[in-house]
Structure 1
Amino acid sequence: MTETLAPEIDSRDPASFPWSVFHHRHPVLIERVANALPRPSAQRDALDALLVESTSGVVTAPDVESLRHEPWPWWRPEYRGVPWGETPFLWAESYFYRRILDAVDYFVPGPWRGIDPYAPTKAAELAGHPVDEELAALDDLATRPLDEQWDALVRSSLWGNRADLSFQAGPSAGTGVGGVIADQTPAFRALLHDRPAGAVHLIADNAGRELLPDLILLDHLLDAGLATSVVLHVKPHPYYVSDATPADVLAAIARLGAAEGRASAVGERLAGFVRAGRLELRAHEFFCGPLPYQAMPADLRAQFAEAALTISKGDLNYRRLVGDRLWHPTAPFAELTAHFPGPVVALRTLKCDVAVGLSAATVEALDATGKAWRTTGEYAVVHVRA
């Protein structure tokens, strides 16, 4: 199998991107979480201790009681006592974010239970002026030919993945757009336009400025009759910084409804689709774990098996879909996603080391630039496995 040829990514090398995430990005995130709300000193101390542990110590276990609601052995006991950098990066990064929730008493009965530590940052982004400008552009889009509208909606959802609040905290964040380096948009279109309409599932990534174009795309699928129903999979509770939860979806629909012009109509339609059951929110616990989708539980696998098409959004979902491994960038996307129970489309901007499904010529050209093209967020892919 291809998987045996690619080692899992870890963060032990100080010159690696994963190492920079733990040592450069995470301190910024910890500071934001600590200062966004007037936290008691015990929470601030717990956040500081987590940062020290994850950058210079070994993995320790959180309070066992706080993990009791999670039904899978995600937080691997064999990694406890092991240096963080020597554990798989996907696991370590996920565990870091899980431990943030413990540090801020998210699961503990009391006044801080259920308070999203990233809510202030999410709310500020959603209310920002750039969102007003992006939503106003919908009015112009409505005047274009249908094919142009489709391409624009897909590109908006694709590049919306750059609006990742954890990515923005890192020094590797790019400012330009390098382009779509693997583009199977025509195959994506054919799956929806050239077949009878069915249920479409979308695995969401980030809230705010990424979730808005995702919702607009889903509204188009329902309004144009390209999907009979839509299932939007989100996180059941906060996970990575800007990951979308049910509350974030409702906030985004309200933001659309409160806008002017076409955006307002989209928001009203989406609210109606939710009421009618044509747009359904689901929040499986598996989405807040460090396992690849190949290891998804049977009940979630059955949900995707019933879908006419599943759209996977973003970098983390991509890593879980193909495996967080050092694949050769020409490794076939279709082969690495053969485990997924049904047709799948991946819309992703590149913000980590994982890269697959590229042509040899594209890889050669990107390597020749001398840029860290895998991690800057300047390049994107649209991959399809029908």
Structure 2
Amino acid sequence: METSNPSKEALVGEEPSEEDEEPVKSDPDHSQTLSRVLRAEFDSRYNIVDLQTPLNAFMSGQYKKSFAYYTLRSRLPVILTNVIDTLTRDKSELVAQFAPHDFAQAAREELKIVIGLISRLKYELQTDKPFQSFTGEEPDREAWNTFINHLPNGERSFYRGCSLHAECYLHRKLYSFVENSIFLKSYDFFAKIKEHTLVDRMDDILALTKHTRRSDNSVEVFGELLKINMWSISNDVSSDPEEDKKLNFKVLQDVGATDEYIIVNHAEEIWNCLDNNKPKKLKQVDVILDNTGYELFSDFVLAEYLIEKALANKVRFHVKAHPWFVTDVTERDFRWTLEYLSQHADYMISLMGKKFLQFLEEGKFELAPVSHFWTSPHAFYSMLQADPDLYSSLQQSKLVIFKGELNYRKLLQDVCWNSSQETSACLRGFLPTNICVLRRVKSEIICGLEEGVGEALATKNPQWMVSGNYGVIQFVDGAREFGY
């Protein structure tokens, strides 16, 4: 399916094919030995060390016992392979959809070129090649090239660099291939996946809808909605659908049953920040969105509560500028979701969709101007310098809610902090207003825990930080000074 012909170097660490290694078929021990040899060769060639990420270091693929290494070695190549498979399988459909009949052959040739570019990107990932400049018509080309050029020489490749930079670069480069094409400019590699994350969860969505009708205006109900929303983050493409459904059912049946897995819960502080008993004044809440599907619906439900209980006069949603990290919300996903809900056959779901659309028309919901900062490699402490207008717009908000793993990593610069380090210190001065973080823990980056909590969890389960079994509802008071 890949059209390029990468050298054997590109296949280091991959399972040998039956065609290339006939003895492997009949000798499992030999296969395991060969696999170990290839892994050792890979580690030696790219200076991989068999360690966890050191304290206060950037997450990096150079540390073999890190989630960053696993992501670069296993998860990202699979994403690229799946994209190649999709383009190959849907070739005729894509040509018919995006190209006029007279240009069908030209579109097929262009599709081959795109597949070849993705294959090359996969090869560069698997062989720790340097990040390449952007040379097309990307609107953020200059910003990206400046960022790459200012990286230290030893941090400009996939494994040697910070894993946050590597992952962002890969997804940005991937989209640039269609962005600079003639026929596929509007194509989203992940559109069908994102649509399925909603369509396949309609039972859960109906259950959440029923559960949240006639909710009381109280800190207890507000805290429940924050928990529901935080756990909904598990419903992304990397999670098990059946496990998601079990979790959704468990949370809605008894939200308190998950409390032991919420290792920070500042729901009361967040409620006090939005205290609706204070004299009425304009209160805006911004939500930096994460995934589509059930999670996005849960975001709408939380926003609905904020509006209806006068905790906010407006909720402003921030989406990604283009397809990003597979299931992240773009403007197209945002609007498609609302239209799909409003036209659903189930009356209650349709009613919810129409209500959300009405909120959008009335200005109670608002789609923020699309910013390329959210799809940049920058940690958020760089926002004031990199995008001062965006920073200024967040200062207008009473509370900014950051959703999910990637936003958490960008808040903390992808640094392996001491887990008990105060969150405000880890933000390195990024505090445009009050901040709320809703996150399901999926990488070795965390702060703000009570002393001893991280150590106790590590004793109980050494993999707790990448298990996805724990979550945080964290708050940072933007009204205070923290010394930055």
* Counterpart in the other structure of 1:96: 170
* Counterpart in the other structure of 2:148: 76
- 2:418 maps to amino acid: H
* Sequence identity (%): 23
Which secondary structure state, in structure 2, belongs to the residue aligned with residue 232 of structure 1? strand
- 2:394 maps to amino acid: F
* Counterpart in the other structure of 1:289: 376
Larger Rg: 2
> Is 2:419–2:449's contact at 8 Å kept on the other side of the alignment?
yes
Q: Distance in 2 between matches of 1:336 and 1:262?
A: 43
* Compared CA separation, residues 324 and 69, structure 1 to 2 (3 A): closer
* Consecutive unaligned residues in structure 2, runs of 5 or more: 1-54, 92-110, 248-257, 478-484
Q: Distance in 1 between matches of 2:444 and 2:273?
A: 29
Asked whether 1:9 is paired with 2:59, we answer yes
> Is 1:61–1:80's contact at 8 Å kept on the other side of the alignment?
no
Asked whether 1:271 is paired with 2:357, we answer yes
* Counterpart in the other structure of 1:243: 328
* Counterpart in the other structure of 1:303: 393
* Consecutive unaligned residues in structure 1, runs of 5 or more: none
Asked whether 1:51 is paired with 2:51, we answer no
Q: Distance in 2 between matches of 1:323 and 1:234?
A: 20
- 2:414 maps to amino acid: D
Q: Distance in 1 between matches of 2:364 and 2:153?
A: 44
Q: Distance in 1 between matches of 2:208 and 2:288?
A: 25
Q: Distance in 2 between matches of 1:106 and 1:75?
A: 22
Q: Alpha-carbon deviations, 1:106-132, whole Å to 9, x = none? A: 21141110211110111122111x332
Q: Alpha-carbon deviations, 1:112-169, whole Å to 9, x = none? A: 10211110111122111x332332332133255444542332122111111222x339
* Counterpart in the other structure of 1:132: 203
* Counterpart in the other structure of 1:315: 405
* Counterpart in the other structure of 1:190: 272
Asked whether 1:32 is paired with 2:82, we answer yes
- 2:332 maps to amino acid: A
Which secondary structure state, in structure 2, belongs to the residue aligned with residue 345 of structure 1? strand
1:232 is displaced (CA, Å) by 0.5
Which secondary structure state, in structure 2, belongs to the residue aligned with residue 85 of structure 1? coil
> Is 1:350–1:377's contact at 8 Å kept on the other side of the alignment?
yes
| TM-score, reference length from structure 1 | 0.89
* Compared CA separation, residues 60 and 309, structure 1 to 2 (3 A): closer
| TM-score, reference length from structure 2 | 0.72
* Counterpart in the other structure of 2:212: 141
- 2:422 maps to amino acid: P
Relative to its length, the structure with more helix (as a share) is: 2
Which secondary structure state, in structure 1, belongs to the residue aligned with residue 467 of structure 2? coil
Q: Distance in 1 between matches of 2:129 and 2:356?
A: 46
Which secondary structure state, in structure 2, belongs to the residue aligned with residue 33 of structure 1? helix
Which secondary structure state, in structure 1, belongs to the residue aligned with residue 332 of structure 2? helix
Q: Distance in 1 between matches of 2:153 and 2:170?
A: 13
Alignment of 1:304-343 (within 5 A): 304-337=394-427, 338-343=429-434
User: Of the candidates 458, 478, 481, which is equivalent to residue 367 of structure 1?
Assistant: 458
Q: Distance in 1 between matches of 2:382 and 2:288?
A: 16
Which secondary structure state, in structure 1, belongs to the residue aligned with residue 473 of structure 2? strand
1:64 is displaced (CA, Å) by 1.1
* Counterpart in the other structure of 2:297: 212
